[in-house]
Amino acid sequence: AQSVTQLGSHVSVSEGALVLLRCNYSSSVPPYLFWYVQYPNQGLQLLLKYTTGATLVKGINGFEAEFKKSETSFHLTKPSAHMSDAAEYFCAVSVSPGGYQKVTFGTGTKLQVIP
Amino acid sequence: NAGVMQNPRHLVRRRGQEARLRCSPMKGHSHVYWYRQLPEEGLKFMVYLQKENIIDESGMPKERFSAEFPKEGPSILRIQQVVRGDSAAYFCASSRLGTSYNEQFFGPGTRLTVL
């Protein structure tokens, strides 16, 4: 079975500072990895995903993440935080039992951006 | 091109009543997934359905919960005899194909409150 651990349920950064949200996964088979963002009272929006190929993945809104197999990590970064980045972020892992997508989510990290 | 639709957005029920949550997948999508998000937690997989078939219900509570995705019409998540612990946000997602590399698109969720 796969699992996801997000370190830090709350992260605060100053506007313009580096954003780093940590995610470690566990999977018995090569996984697909995702980061989603959730704004208050809304559904989840896909930020980026890693399936195969290049381990540095670029997503929307200036976010990127690097898949490090040796560290079983998929940390999310953004060079300069913007006020509009304040939201909750979920890391997720997907494997394919029986040929369909089964996604396991982390518990989420709430990002606060301080002006 | 409408996204995943869920209704109602907010639902209030008293203990012992039934709750019916509806999900209309994106056009062209025939795979539907239901997730539950309890307060301060990540999303937990409940059930995966294709048209007229339940493929994986390993995340569904054994009692009171059921799901269907008929040939015509939306997918329905039904909770009978609701209890306070059922209060949560319920999200539906859809995908075009069931394989891992197909993104799941999420609806805005239904927030169930049990009084």
Kindly report, residue by residue over A97-112, the tens digit of the pLDDT: 556 677 889 999 999 9
- What pLDDT was estimated at residue A29? 79
The beta-carbon neighbor of A100 closest among B35, B99, B108 is: B99
SS3 content of chain A, % helix, strand, coil (to 5): 10, 55, 35
- CA-atom Rg of chain A in angstroms: 14
Kindly report, residue by residue over B52-83, the tens digit of the pLDDT: 899 999 999 999 999 999 999 999 999 999 99
Q: How far apart are CA A37 and CA B69, in angstroms?
A: 27
Q: How far apart are CA A78 and CA B70, in angstroms?
A: 43
**In b/e form, how buried is each residue of A46-66, taking b as 16+ CB within 10 angstroms?**
bbbbbeeeeeebebeeebbbe
**B11: pLDDT confidence band, cut at 50, 70 and 90?**
very high
Q: Which residues of A touch B55 (CB under 8 A)?
A: 98, 100
Q: How far apart are CA B62 and CA B77, in angstroms?
A: 14
Q: How far apart are CA A36 and CA A46, in angstroms?
A: 4
Q: Which residues of B touch A46 (CB under 8 A)?
A: 103
